[in-house]
C-alpha cells in the first residue's frame, strides 16, 4: 500500500512536470514573441507593402501570400487525402498492395521538408514551368500538398477506423449503397477527425519555409494570383531574421512572428466554425 | 395453408474453410414470429444474415444452396441486394442509430431510395415512429440527436428506421440483449403488434422471450437445425433430446 502511494506520487510528479514544461514553454515563447512584436504591429504594418529599408514598410503581400498558399494547398491536398483514406479503409481489401502503399505513406511522412522542396523545384518549377509559371504560389502549394499528404491521409484514415462497423452495417441493412454509406454516414461521422487533420495541416503549411523558398520564391510584391511568385509570412520572417541586422529589421521580424501566430489562431477558428456549419447542415 | 416467406433448401455457408451452416432446410412462414435459439456460436446470426445477404459484406464467405423468398432464389448472383434489403429489414443486437437527428435516422433509408418530398418523409417518419411506439416519446424533439436517447428508445428507433422502408420481413438479432427488463418488455409488446404486418425472425438467448413472442421456434446446434416446430410444441413436447436439454437449461 505504502509503496504504491509513493510510486503514484512519483508518477504524478513526472506527469505534472512534463505538463508544466510543455505549457510553460508555450507560454514563454508566445509571451516573448508578443512582448517584442506586438508594439510594432500597427494598422500600417498590416496594410503596407514591403520595402527593404523603409521603416514604414508592412507585410500585406506576405499576409495575402500566406492565405493564398494555405487555401490552395488545402484545396489540393484535402480531397486527395480524403479519397485516398476512403480507398484504403473502405474499398481496398488488405493485401500486399495496401501494405506497400501504407509503407510508402509512412516513409514519405518522415522525409525532411527540404527534400520535398528540391523535388518540387525540379518538377513544378523546372519541368512543369509552362503550367506553373516556375516560381509561383501554385508550385509552392503543389509541393506543400505532396508534403502534407502522408500525414493527412494517415490521420483521416485513423478517424475512419474509429467508426464502428455497426454504423456501416446499419446503413447497408437499410438498402443504402456503398457510395451513399460513405457520403451520408462515414464522412459526416468523421467530420471532426477530418477537421483536426486539416488544422494540423494548416500548422504545417504555415510553418514551412525551406520548400517554399525553393518553389514559390521570395518576391515581396503583392501576388496577382496563383501564378505569381510570393513570400509567405514564414519565408519573410526567415529573410528578416537572417538578413536583418538593424534594430528596425529585428522589430519587424518579431512583429511578423506575432502576426503569424495570430493568423494560425484565426485560421483554426475559421475551420472550426465552418465545421460547425457543416455539422448543422448534415444533421 | 399458410404462406411461406422463406423456403430454405440445403443451405451451406463457409467462413473460409470453416463451415458455419450445414445443410439447413427450413420453411419460414409469413406473418408469424419465428424464434431462432441455440447455444453461442451455433450459427443463428449467420443464418439470419443470409436472409438479407449481409454476409456478402464479410470477406471470404461462400454460400451454396437455395433460399427462396416468395419463390425467388435470393442467393442468386442476379439478385439486387439493395432491393432485397429494402424488403428484408434488420435490427441489430446493439442499438446502432446514426449520429444524426431522430428525423434523419428514420428518413435515411427512404432518402437513399430517392424519396425527397418533405411531406412524404414527414408522414413516413411519423407513421414509423408510431408503429414503433416511440412517437409520443420523441415527437417534440425530432431534430435532436438520436445518440441522446436511452438504450431502449434507441432500439425502438432502429425498429422504426427499419419499418420506414416498408419491408416485408424484419430480422432481429438479439434485439433486447442490451436492454433492461422494462425496455425489453416494450420491444416484446411491439413485436406482438408488428407480426400482423411483417414476417419476423428473432434470435434470442432467452427461452422465456422465445416462448413469449414467437409462433415457431428453430433450435440450432453446431450449424445445424436440430428441430423446427411451433413454439408450443418445442417447449412443451420437444422431440429431440438435445432440444429438451437446451430449453430446460441443462447446457448452452
Ligand atoms: N466473420 C466471421 N469469420 C469467421 N468465422 C465467423 C465469422 N462470424 C461468425 N463466425 C463463426 O461462425 C460460427 C457461427 O457464428 P454466429 O455468429 O452465427 O453464431 P451465433 O449463433 O449467432 O452465436 P451468438 O449466440 O454468440 O451470437 C461461430 O463459430 C463463429 O465463430
Ligand atoms: Mg449471434
Q: Is residue B9 a part of any domain in this protein?
A: yes
What's the domain count of chain B? 1
Burial of residue A70 (number of CB atoms within 10 Å: 0-12, 13-18, 19+): buried
Cell of A149: 499528404
Cell of B147: 445518440
Q: Is residue B21 a part of any domain in this protein?
A: yes
Q: Are strands B61-69 and B216-221 parallel, antiparallel or unpaired?
A: unpaired
Same-domain pairing of A13 and A66: no
List b or e across B92-121, with b for residues whose CB sees 16 or more CB atoms inside 10 angstroms.
Answer: bbbbbbbbbbbbbbbbbbbbbeeeeeeeeb
B38 contacts B243 by C-beta, under 8 angstroms: no
Output the pLDDT for position A245: 72
Output the pLDDT for position B1: 54
Q: Residue B30 sits in which domain range?
A: 4-247
**DSSP symbols for A75-93:** HHHHHHHHHHHHIIIIIPP
Ligand with an atom nearest the CA of residue B37: 1
- Residue identifier of the C-alpha nearest atom 31 of ligand 1: B41
Find the CB nearest B109 among A93, A164, A175.
A175
Q: Is residue B166 a part of any domain in this protein?
A: yes
Q: How far is ligand 1, taken at its centre, from the CA of residue B106, in Å?
A: 29
Q: Is residue B164 a part of any domain in this protein?
A: yes
Pick left, alpha or beta for residue B150 (phi over 0 → left; psi -120 to 50 → alpha; otherwise beta): beta
Same-domain pairing of A14 and A25: yes
Output the pLDDT for position B252: 56
Same-domain pairing of A87 and A197: yes
Q: Are strands B224-230 and B216-221 parallel, antiparallel or unpaired?
A: antiparallel
Return the closest-CA partner of residue A159 out of A205, A203, A199.
A199
Identify the segments of chain A with pLDDT beneath 70: 1-2, 244, 281-283
pLDDT above 80 (res B115): yes
What's the domain count of chain A? 2
- The CATH number covering residue B113 comes to 3.40.50.300
Average pLDDT, chain B: 94
What tens digit of pLDDT does each residue of A142-198 get?
999 999 999 999 999 999 999 999 999 999 999 999 999 999 999 999 998 999 999
Query: What are the phi and psi torsion angles at B176 (to 5°)?
Result: -115, 5
Residues A252 and A116: their CA atoms lie apart, in Å, by: 29
Which residues of chain A neighbour B151 with C-beta distances below 8 Å?
Answer: none
- The CATH number covering residue A150 comes to 1.10.3720.10
Q: Is residue B29 a part of any domain in this protein?
A: yes
Return the closest-CA partner of residue B243 out of B194, B196, B207.
B207
Same-domain pairing of A76 and A23: no
Enumerate the β-bridge partners of residue B200.
B33, B170
**What whole-number percentage of chain B has pLDDT above 70?**
99
Ligand with an atom nearest the CA of residue B92: 2
| Site of grid cell 474453410 | B17
Report residue B213's pLDDT band, with 50, 70 and 90 as the boundaries. Answer: very high
In this prediction the ipTM stands at 0.93
A173 contacts B161 by C-beta, under 8 angstroms: no
Ligand 1 in reach of B14 Cβ (< 6 A): no
Q: Which of B54, B102, B109 to mutate to test the interface with A (most CBs of A within 10 A)?
A: B109
Q: Is residue B63 a part of any domain in this protein?
A: yes
Same-domain pairing of A29 and A157: no
Residue range B117-123: mean pLDDT, rounded:
96
Q: Is residue B31 a part of any domain in this protein?
A: yes
| pTM for the structure as a whole | 0.86
Helices marked H in A163-246:
165-173, 178-181, 187-189, 191-207, 210-215, 233-243
What tens digit of pLDDT does each residue of B43-63 get?
999 999 999 999 999 989 999
Residues B35 and A116: their CA atoms lie apart, in Å, by: 62
Q: Is residue B232 a part of any domain in this protein?
A: yes
The full 3-state SS of chain B, as one line of letters, equals CCCEEEEEEEEEEEECCEEEEEEEEEEEECCCEEEEECCCCCCHHHHHHHCCCHHHHCCCEEEEEEEEECCEECCCCCCCHHHHHHHEEEECCCCCCCCCEHHHHHHHHHHHCCCCCHHHHHHHHHHHHHHCCCHHHHCCCCCCEHHHCCHHHHHHHHHHHHHCCCCCEEEEECCCCCCCHHHHHHHHHHHHHHCCCCEEEEECCCHHHHHHHCCEEEEEECCEEEEEEEHHHHHHCCCCHHHHHHHCCCCC
Same-domain pairing of A134 and A219: yes
pLDDT above 80 (res B39): yes
Same-domain pairing of A98 and A23: no
- Residue identifier of the C-alpha nearest atom 18 of ligand 1: B43
Q: Residue A13 sits in which domain range?
A: 1-40
Same-domain pairing of A25 and A51: no
Amino acid at each position: 500500500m505504502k509503496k504504491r502511494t509513493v510510486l503514484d506520487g512519483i508518477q504524478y510528479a513526472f506527469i505534472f512536470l512534463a505538463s508544466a514544461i510543455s505549457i510553460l514553454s508555450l507560454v514563454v515563447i508566445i509571451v516573448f514573441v508578443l512582448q517584442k512584436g506586438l508594439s510594432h504591429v500597427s494598422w500600417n504594418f498590416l496594410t503596407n507593402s514591403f520595402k527593404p529599408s523603409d521603416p514604414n514598410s508592412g507585410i500585406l503581400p506576405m499576409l495575402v501570400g500566406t492565405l493564398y498558399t494555405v487555401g490552395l494547398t488545402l484545396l489540393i491536398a484535402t480531397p486527395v487525402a480524403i479519397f485516398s483514406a476512403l480507398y484504403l479503409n473502405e474499398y481496398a481489401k488488405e493485401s500486399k498492395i495496401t501494405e506497400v502503399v501504407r509503407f510508402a505513406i509512412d516513409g514519405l511522412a518522415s522525409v525532411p521538408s527540404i527534400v520535398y522542396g528540391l523535388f518540387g523545384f525540379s518538377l513544378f518549377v523546372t519541368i512543369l514551368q509552362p503550367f506553373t509559371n516556375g516560381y509561383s504560389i501554385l508550385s509552392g502549394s503543389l509541393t506543400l500538398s505532396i508534403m502534407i499528404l502522408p500525414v493527412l491521409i494517415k490521420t483521416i484514415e485513423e478517424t475512419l477506423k474509429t467508426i464502428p462497423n455497426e454504423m456501416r452495417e446499419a446503413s447497408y441493412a437499410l438498402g443504402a449503397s456503398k457510395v451513399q454509406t460513405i457520403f451520408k454516414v462515414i464522412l459526416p461521422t468523421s467530420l471532426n477527425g477530418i477537421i483536426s487533420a486539416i488544422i494540423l495541416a494548416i500548422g504545417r503549411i504555415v510553418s514551412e519555409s525551406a520548400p517554399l523558398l525553393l518553389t514559390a520564391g521570395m518576391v515581396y510584391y503583392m501576388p496577382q494570383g496563383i501564378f505569381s511568385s510570393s513570400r509567405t509570412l514564414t519565408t519573410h520572417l526567415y529573410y528578416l531574421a537572417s538578413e536583418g541586422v538593424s534594430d528596425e529589421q529585428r522589430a519587424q521580424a518579431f512583429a511578423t512572428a506575432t502576426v503569424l501566430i495570430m493568423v494560425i489562431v484565426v485560421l483554426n477558428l475559421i475551420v472550426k466554425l465552418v465545421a460547425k456549419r457543416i455539422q448543422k447542415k448534415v444533421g | 395453408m399458410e404462406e411461406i416467406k422463406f423456403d430454405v433448401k440445403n443451405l451451406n455457408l463457409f467462413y473460409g474453410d470453416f463451415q458455419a451452416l450445414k445443410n439447413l432446410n427450413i420453411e419460414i412462414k409469413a406473418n408469424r414470429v419465428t424464434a431462432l435459439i441455440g447455444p453461442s456460436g451455433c450459427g443463428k446470426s449467420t443464418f439470419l444474415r443470409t436472409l438479407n445477404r449481409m454476409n456478402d459484406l464479410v470477406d471470404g464467405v461462400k454460400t451454396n444452396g437455395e433460399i427462396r423468398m416468395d419463390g425467388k432464389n435470393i442467393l442468386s448472383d442476379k439478385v439486387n441486394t439493395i432491393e432485397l434489403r429494402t424488403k428484408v429489414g434488420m435490427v441489430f443486437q446493439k442499438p446502432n442509430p446514426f449520429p444524426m437527428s431522430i428525423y434523419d435516422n428514420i428518413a435515411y433509408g427512404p432518402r437513399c431510395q430517392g424519396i425527397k418530398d418533405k411531406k412524404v418523409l414527414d408522414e413516413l417518419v411519423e407513421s414509423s415512429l408510431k408503429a414503433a411506439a416511440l412517437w409520443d416519446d420523441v415527437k417534440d424533439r425530432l431534430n435532436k440527436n438520436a445518440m441522446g436517447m436511452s438504450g431502449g428508445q434507441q432500439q425502438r428507433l432502429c425498429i422504426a428506421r427499419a419499418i420506414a422502408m416498408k419491408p416485408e420481413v424484419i430480422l432481429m438479432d438479439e434485439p433486447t440483449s442490451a436492454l433492461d427488463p422494462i425496455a425489453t418488455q416494450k420491444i416484446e409488446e411491439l413485436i406482438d403488434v408488428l407480426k400482423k404486418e411483417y414476417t419476423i425472425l428473432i434470435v434470442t438467448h432467452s427461452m422465456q422471450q422465445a416462448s413469449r413472442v414467437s409462433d415457431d421456434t428453430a433450435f440450432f446446434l453446431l450449424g445445424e437445425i436440430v428441430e423446427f416446430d411451433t413454439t408450443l410444441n418445442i417447449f412443451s413436447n420437444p422431440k429431440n433430446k438435445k432440444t429438451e436439454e437446451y430449453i430446460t437449461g441443462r447446457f448452452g
